[in-house]
Structure 1
């Protein structure tokens, strides 16, 4: 079997996630997370579209994680991203994390805006 080492340049893969948080490049981020070529930062959700639109020239596809389940996103956000020429893939957050890591390893021009999965009740 041949193993290949993956190099991520300046972008960092999602190491893990749990109720209300993500771990990216070894750093825990509470709440939503924004993963762009310019860096990793907290994301406040659908209303915080400015950084997504600003990244449009640097990415071909934006993965948008909607939480534990796939959900509709606001039409205004979808229209703004598509108008900026960004391909949009909406999926549940666990799928968005996995897909982001795979596409990042392939060297794709991607970004991700991911909402956390909710915490447990126990």
Structure 2
């Protein structure tokens, strides 16, 4: 007999991969597609659901902060338009030794791919765009 229902697991790709495409509310990487936002960390690529993409909080970056010793640069794709990071978030990242650069999601994807190819200690928090 089968178990009780479908088990939904947290979206996670256990490796580093370039982002092949973005738009339509998601991303393509490693010959896969993901609907929604992403965290690209040294531990892998994780599905990400910030509470409010227009007002990111420190709690939205718990996974980033947990890997702080492995990340020098965090690219924050803020959606279609650049918005500043909230002061509390910027302070928490700085205290963890992470340089955070907010930009549009498109610019963050392109920059992430270049820095990843250079084997830099880079991570990205990417808000999905339509």
Partner of residue 19 from structure 2, selected from 14, 20, 32: 14
TM-score by length of 1: 0.84
Q: Match of 1:22, SS?
A: strand
Residue 109 of structure 1 is matched in structure 2 by: 121
Length-normalised TM-score, structure 2: 0.79
Note if 1:49 corresponds to 2:61: yes
- The reply on whether 1:95 has 2:95 as its aligned counterpart is no
The answer to whether 1:31 aligns with 2:36 is yes
Stretches of structure 1 lacking an aligned partner (at least 5 in a row): 1-9
List runs of 5+ in structure 2 lacking aligned partners: 1-14, 51-55
Aligned Cα RMSD in Å? 1.1
Q: Which segments of structure 1 move beyond 2 Å, counting only runs of 4 or more?
A: none
Q: How many matched pairs?
A: 109
Structure 1 position 73, deviation (Å): 2.1
Shift of 1:55: 1.5
Question: d(CA) in 1 for partners of 2:40 and 2:112?
Answer: 9
